[in-house]
Chains A and B, each alone.
Chain A
Amino acid sequence: MFHSVKAKEGASLVMVICIGAFLMAFALSMIYTAGLLLSRSNRRLEQERSYQLARSFSQILDLELKKYNALGDAPEKSFYRYAVHFLEGQYGEYDPDYLDETIFHYTAGEAPEGMDENHYGTIRVALYKEAGEEEEELSGTVSSDAPIEDILTNPIQRYVFTVEVTAETGSASFRYRTEYRQTAIYEVRFTYGDSKRPVVLAGSEWHYDNASGELCNFDSPVQLEYEYLTGLANMKSCSFENAYLEEGEGI
């Protein structure tokens, strides 16, 4: 009988402890949730600051890209020059299965004097390129008596170039992405016959090999093959235009 009473007392104590622990946990979870709500509200403004920083820096890069039309005009270390080298160089095209090897990251080094990192955050830029729609139109045929001006000045859109700017301020960060269509004009090589001997138009006459070479003696109009020579050395001009409207760029 005595043991039974003792056992009952123990059970009620356990119940009190359980209910107390439950209520304490409930109270703590309420406080935690409220704190979370507050911190999320506070972060909203930080995110807006990051967004504005990323967006404004994106606009600076946009100006840089559109400032020049040819590599020769762009100064050393300019973003335009680097972007052109990036597109024409050996950097791999974007592949979602190999993000680490096809997205290239750049970070602004030490903050320059006068720039407070607490206010302007850390700026990172990521670049990647994807093949444009006209990749397969880099060659063709033309009649020897047809005008070739259009072929010589034909702008080729080889790549879609993506610039992602990430601004990190405190605990918030924002990534702003802009896509550009690269439009380039390249040197063109004309060839004739199965041997693909190069031909050059000088005035109204076609010559073999170069402008002062042997005159091509076509009795009747023949089909010449042409090929755009890509690469930095053969690039006559390169410009960038937005692939999409401004409204659709933020992420």
Chain B
Amino acid sequence: MKIRSIKAQGGETLVEILAAFAVFLLLMAVMQGAVSFCTNAQGKSKEIRRVNAEICRNFQTAEEAVPTGNVTLRFEASSFTGETGGAVLFEIETALGEKKVPFQDGEGEPKHTIFYLFLPADTNAGEPGGGEP
């Protein structure tokens, strides 16, 4: 009876302490991983936002969009969600254009991204620079 009482009042065993420590380490590792991921994501997000802002800024000053060809879009009556199923009500002839916008990536390397635009159909499609010199 006395032995049992001593056991009950005794401290934790070494195994218990080690197990608790392992759990503690595991949780700390998870937390550290999460914090590290957050820090990286925040940095990356900041970089993406900087690049995006630069692209949007450069869009205004970039060279004119280059037409790549004419197409005719045929519009039909549709629901709010875009489900069509009727006669063509009007047609829009337009030129498809591409506008090259330069920017610098995170490492300072010059790069470019392409914006796709609709241009007036009478633009001289297929002849970048506006046609005859």
Contact = CB atoms under 8 A, between A and B. Distances in A.
Interface string B90-121: 11101011000000000000000101111111
A16 B20 contact: yes
B72 interface: yes
Contacts of B34: 26-28, 30-31
A82 interface: yes
B17 interface: no
A82 B77 CA distance: 12
16 contacts: A27-B33, A30-B37, A30-B38, A37-B42, A38-B48, A48-B115, A56-B118, A61-B92, A77-B90, A82-B89, A100-B80, A105-B79, A106-B75, A108-B74, A109-B75, A109-B88
Interface secondary structure of A, over-half rule: helix
Interface residues of B, number: 55
B113 to A, nearest CB: 8
Nearest to B39: A34
Interface stretch (A121-129, A140-148, A228-236, A241-249): A121-129
Contacts of B82: 105, 107, 122, 124
Interface of A: 1-2, 4-5, 16, 19-20, 23-24, 26-28, 30-31, 33-35, 37-38, 40-42, 44-45, 48-49, 52-53, 56-57, 59-61, 63-64, 77-79, 81-82, 100, 104-109, 112-115, 119-120, 122-125
A6 to B, nearest CB: 10
A52 B97 CA distance: 11
A42 B51 CA distance: 10
B56 interface: yes
Interface string B1-13: 0001100100000
Q: Which of B42, B52, B68 has the most CB of A within 10 A?
A: B52
Contacts of B25: none
Contacts, number: 151
Interface in B30-52: 30-31, 33-35, 37-38, 40-42, 44-45, 48-49, 52
B41 A35 contact: yes
B31 A82 contact: no
B106 to A, nearest CB: 13
A65 to B, nearest CB: 11
Contacts of A125: 75
Contacts of B56: 48
A5 B34 CA distance: 37
Contact of A1 (B5, B23, B115): B5
A41 B33 CA distance: 22
Contacts of B119: 56, 60
Q: Which of B31, B71, B75, B113 has the most CB of A within 10 A?
A: B75
B92 A64 contact: yes
Please list the 4 inter-chain residue pairs (A to B) with the smallest Cβ-Cβ separation, ordered nearest first: A34-B41, A27-B34, A107-B78, A82-B90
A53 B38 contact: no
Interface string B54-74: 011001000000001101111
B20 to A, nearest CB: 7
Contact of A106 (B37, B48, B55, B77): B77
Q: Which of A19, A38, A52, A81 has the most CB of B within 10 A?
A: A52
